[in-house]
Amino acid sequence: MAIIECVPNVSEGRRADVVETLVSAIRSVPGVRVLDSSSDPSHNRSVLTLAGEAGPLQAAILALFEKALAVIDLRTHTGEHPRLGAVDVVPFVPIEGVTMAECVTLAREIGRAVAERFGVPVYLYEEAATNPARRNLEDIRRGEFEGLAEKMRKPDWAPDFGPPAPHASAGATVIGARMPLIAYNINLATDRLDVAKRIAAAIRHSSGGFRFVKAMGIALEDRGIVQVSMNLTNFEKTPIFRVFEVVRREAASYGVNVLESEIVGLVPAAALVGTAEYFLQLSAFKPEQVLEARLRHAE
Amino acid sequence: MAIIECVPNVSEGRRADVVETLVSAIRSVPGVRVLDSSSDPSHNRSVLTLAGEAGPLQAAILALFEKALAVIDLRTHTGEHPRLGAVDVVPFVPIEGVTMAECVTLAREIGRAVAERFGVPVYLYEEAATNPARRNLEDIRRGEFEGLAEKMRKPDWAPDFGPPAPHASAGATVIGARMPLIAYNINLATDRLDVAKRIAAAIRHSSGGFRFVKAMGIALEDRGIVQVSMNLTNFEKTPIFRVFEVVRREAASYGVNVLESEIVGLVPAAALVGTAEYFLQLSAFKPEQVLEARLRHAE
């Protein structure tokens, strides 16, 4: 049995009944489970977390679009978070028994189906991108819904699927495949914000650090401490334990201790199992030795 | 959904077709999964690992007894491993969504059913034991099948269920509930067997160490190194990371490094997640944050 995670971001985070309608449309598809739904009113955006196999997920995403197009109109949508479409972003994430290549294929199939059925232009991003300029979501989304008609007139921004102009009320959609993202923070036993900022600069990709780390240093003012706040975008290639150990060592060079760390939201079991393997120096450990993994695969 | 593990040990490890018959009898019960089956010819014993909820497991164990009694006769059984019965030991192990108390209740219900249906005397052990002298399997099994008739004539050894004398061909059975057992070894970068033996003595319960550790020091002669070989019998109360750190520190006091460690067979995910929590100093981590756990519980 394959497990694919799918995390559609929709441009509605204020009307709870509307979000519930969208979630219900997904739940009505057999074989798809809704693991989480969280709405942010100031962003006016909801993030849904689904899991299932390819076929059920495709049906669920089409059901989501059908409902979302009926109830969300970007022409009257406001919110702090950048967005391009009613269903703004749809990433597929390989979790178990499925390859990234299979998730890329699925993203492209669903992108084509969405464009054909609903007339919404679709851009493919991250691992599913068809050219390097479209890998980063931020680049595709720059200009947002309000600038989309003008942006799409440039030949570089012809969509991967669908019409060469925005859908009137639903804009465009970005669909793709990526690794699971881990929101990971390390709290330092100090109030020195400069230390957190310097460590963040040392470990993030953009300033010379690890390839799959985004990081910033922030103050947790109510607690009188600082935090290195991170997104780990590929825990297989830049694992959580290596990031922790480097942050710990960097902090020590300022005479600062790690107070604690925290994982926000969901984390794949493999990231924690890999951490245990590292610190226990486990040799020849196989994922099938985890009892619950065996359970999922036993007949 | 509750997950209970059950690990019946049967006194047949040489006739593969007979073992397959027993496994088939279990597989025929809906809702029970066979995670593993391993046979040892010199022990003449097989260890089956099943998982399921209480009802299906009860049906599976009764099906196992029915078949085992037809094909195993202890009067002609030989093997290195101590044994009391055709189905020798049946422990139930809480894994997820189920308490130890519920596993104790299940063990007692099944013990009663086995005794009534098959006329096999049943002893309850470990957490299901009805008196302290029966907690340890070794104490119940002492004297083995060959000494059982005489042992059962002592009032102290009246069974918990069933007739006051052995079943002619199937002896008696020990049924109970226990925590998952983790077979865990730490290899040291030295050939000094005395170091492994001293560390084993320092950490095992019987000589002053941790409550839920059994340990011995052995030589891995083909590799020219030594090993602290352990069973961790309650990973919640004596966790794997604490044992690792103490062994590492003890080894350092002899000028010896830990080369690697290894987990033999299955390990509950919670033991590895707990290890990651410890080393990463994770605060406020909840088991439901593990994506796969969420998957098992989502509607």
Residue B97 reports pLDDT greater than 90? no
Q: Write out the H or E segment, with its range, that includes residue A33.
A: strand A33-40
> Is A199 within 8 Å of A234 (Cβ atoms)?
no
Shortest CA gap B33–chain A (Å): 6
pLDDT digits (tens, 9 = 90+) for A13-47: 999 999 999 999 999 999 999 998 989 898 899 99
Average pLDDT, chain A: 95
Looking at this protein, which amino acid is placed at residue B293? Answer: A
Shortest CA gap B246–chain A (Å): 12
Per the DSSP assignment, residues forming a β-bridge with B46 are B10, B39
Could you list the beta-strand ranges (E) of chain B.
3-6, 9-10, 33-40, 45-52, 87-96, 122-126, 173-177, 182-188, 213-220, 225-232, 258-264
- Mean pLDDT of all residues in B68-89: 95
**Active-site annotation holder among A43, A77, A81, A167:** A81
Q: What is the ipTM of this complex?
A: 0.81
Residue B298 reports pLDDT greater than 60? no
Query: In this complex, do A259 and B240 lie within 8 Å of one another by their Cβ atoms?
Result: no
Percent of chain B residues topping a pLDDT of 90: 90
Judging contacts by C-beta atoms under 8 Å, the chain A residues touching residue B271 are 276
- Mean pLDDT of all residues in A225-250: 96
Q: How far is B226 from B197, CA to CA, in rounded Å?
A: 9
| A279 CA to centre of own chain | 28
Residue A178 reports pLDDT greater than 80? yes
Q: Is B81 a catalytic residue?
A: yes
Contacts of A287 (CB under 8 A, 6+ apart): A270, A273, A293
* Number of inter-chain CB pairs under 8 A, A vs B: 150
Residue B297 reports pLDDT greater than 70? no
pLDDT of residue B299: 42
Q: What is the dihedral of CA B207, B188, B245, B218, to 10 degrees?
A: -20
Q: Write out the H or E segment, with its range, that includes residue B194.
A: helix B193-203
> Is B75 within 8 Å of B83 (Cβ atoms)?
no
Q: Which residue among A241, A267, A273 sits closest to B289, beta carbon to beta carbon?
A: A267
Q: How far is B69 from B67, CA to CA, in rounded Å?
A: 6
Nearest CA in chain A to B52: A295
pLDDT band of residue A297 (cuts 50, 70, 90) is low
Contacts of B132 (CB under 8 A, 6+ apart): none
pTM of the predicted protein model: 0.82
pLDDT band of residue A227 (cuts 50, 70, 90) is very high
Shortest CA gap B276–chain A (Å): 5
pLDDT digits (tens, 9 = 90+) for B104-120: 999 999 999 999 999 99
Judging contacts by C-beta atoms under 8 Å, the chain A residues touching residue B279 are 241, 244, 275-276, 279
Q: Which residue among B95, B281, B294 sits closest to A261, beta carbon to beta carbon?
A: B281
Percent of chain A residues topping a pLDDT of 90: 90
Count of other CB atoms within 10 angstroms of residue B28: 12
pLDDT digits (tens, 9 = 90+) for B261-287: 999 889 999 999 999 999 999 998 998
Instruction: Give me the count of residues in chain B.
Output: 299
